[in-house]
Structure 1
Amino acid sequence: MDANEVNKVAGAILGMLTLAMGIGFLSSGLMAPKPPAKAGYELPDNSATASSAAAPAAAQAEPIATRLATADLAKGETAAKKCVSCHQFQKDGKNGQGPALWGIVNKAKGAAAGFNYSAGLKDMASKGGKWDYEALDAFLTNPKAYVAGTSMGFAGINRADERANIIFYLRSLAETPAALP
């Protein structure tokens, strides 16, 4: 290949590149994209729907007295097994990471002998009150919301029927079970 042919090939390549760049500049000038007025995407505000969805769910939960009427003792005993790592259920059970739960229904809050309660529960106990059915139901739903500052690391039980079964089982853990509401 002589020098003249090399110049022809190099000129053809440079010509094509110049043509491609020229077409790109020309098309950008003709069809320029419009920048968005506001950067990013608008996300829907779900806070109103989340709170309105939570309100009917809470309103749909039957009272604990109604749920206890259909509670199952065997299912409650099975469901309470998730509590065994911290609590004992025997009559002479010892306090562990949590207090022993024998006779807990209608017992005064913060009254387990020898157990060092969290500051939140000590404060609640100083105001009086018992672990009645409603209090147990509220506590088992979300312990950290019911007792601010509790050291109980359990997230809670969402299902109302499961809570009723556990409370029905806890009721049976006494010499004389508490009267049903």
Structure 2
Amino acid sequence: MNSTRTNKFIMAFLATVFVVMTTGILSDSLFHAPAPEKPGYIIEAAEGSGGGEAAPAKEEVSIATLLQSADPERGKNVFKRCAACHTAEKGGANKIGPHLWDVVNRPAASVEDFSYSAAMKEFGAAGNKWDFEHLNKFLTSPRGYIKGTAMGFAGDKKDNERADLIAYLRTLSDDPVPLPTVEAAPADAAPADSGEAAPAGNGEAAPAQEGVQPAEQAPASDTQQQGESAPASEQTPAPTQEQPAPAN
């Protein structure tokens, strides 16, 4: 009995394996998928009509414009990042960087008891001073603006923070430098208006010239009327001269 039951189990198992293998072989033959030459999936995407054109560059705002709304108190908080390397008070000592009292409009590399890098000395020897423009560009990217500077600050790319910081540095003086004036916008609007008005004037003059043509044709119509009436006047006396003849 046990051997018969065992044989049944074995036969059932073998039959199951046979069915599974047969099903796998048949499915592979019916649904054969060849292996791709390169592994991965091909994703088809429609090409954009832009042609890979670069995005328009961000318009640069002048430091003079930014300083009009800058806040020295906010700049004082920004300066906390600089306090490890610079002092701000009058008579302050040099640290890793030179003291920053009276720094605005100070000639570059001019603090006598500080050892500047060769790049900064060269920048100062060229007659540059730390005006608002130079401070703005230098604080945006110190190493990008002066190649070889020893300043470790990476820069501040935020216009408002940078303007606040410069506004605070301006206050570090007994006689702060006046804020720069914002240049007036170029007078491009006046030529543009005159250029637009010119076509309008020409457009109005054109109908006026066309209106003259009927006036020039008026004499021609009068002449034609006179020309047509002339034969009528010549034909009128002809019958009057011939009428007396039959009467005689």
TM-score by length of 2: 0.60
Offset of residue 92 of structure 1: 0.9
Offset of residue 163 of structure 1: 0.9
Instruction: Indicate yes or no: 2:55 matched with 1:52.
Output: yes
Q: CA, structure 1 residues 111+39, in 2 after alignment: closer, same or farther (shift >3 Å)? A: farther
- Cα deviation per residue 1:122-171 (whole Å; 9 max; x = unaligned)? 34334331111111111111222222233322222222111111111111
Instruction: Indicate yes or no: 2:69 matched with 1:70.
Output: yes
Offset of residue 104 of structure 1: 1.2
Amino acid at match of 2:36: P
Aligned residue for 2:149?
Answer: 150
Q: Which runs of 4+ in 1 moved over 4 A?
A: 36-42
Larger radius of gyration: 2
Amino acid at match of 1:103: D
RMSD, matched Cα: 2.8
Aligned equivalents of 2:164, 2:82: Cα separation in 1: 14
Aligned equivalents of 1:127, 1:40: Cα separation in 2: 60
Aligned residue for 2:9?
Answer: 9
Offset of residue 180 of structure 1: 2.0
Aligned equivalents of 1:126, 1:14: Cα separation in 2: 95
Offset of residue 100 of structure 1: 0.9
Aligned residue for 1:121?
Answer: 120
Q: CA, structure 1 residues 33+100, in 2 after alignment: closer, same or farther (shift >3 Å)? A: farther
Aligned equivalents of 1:30, 1:121: Cα separation in 2: 77
Aligned equivalents of 2:24, 2:149: Cα separation in 1: 66
Count of residues paired in the alignment:
173
Amino acid at match of 1:121: M
**RCO greater where, 1 or 2, for CA within 8 Å and sep 6 or more?**
1
Unaligned runs of 5+ in 1: none
- Cα deviation per residue 1:61-80 (whole Å; 9 max; x = unaligned)? 42111111222121111221
Q: CA, structure 1 residues 110+19, in 2 after alignment: closer, same or farther (shift >3 Å)? A: farther
Aligned equivalents of 1:167, 1:64: Cα separation in 2: 9
Aligned equivalents of 1:41, 1:123: Cα separation in 2: 56
Unaligned runs of 5+ in 2: 181-248
Amino acid at match of 2:8: K
1:90 alignment partner, SS class: coil
Identity among equivalent pairs (%): 40
More moved, 133-142 vs 2-11: 2-11
Aligned residue for 2:36?
Answer: 35
Aligned residue for 1:23?
Answer: 23
- Cα deviation per residue 1:41-88 (whole Å; 9 max; x = unaligned)? 77x9xxx68x636x22xx1x4211111122212111122122111110
Aligned equivalents of 1:137, 1:167: Cα separation in 2: 7
Q: CA, structure 1 residues 39+163, in 2 after alignment: closer, same or farther (shift >3 Å)? A: same
Aligned residue for 2:165?
Answer: 166
Amino acid at match of 1:84: A
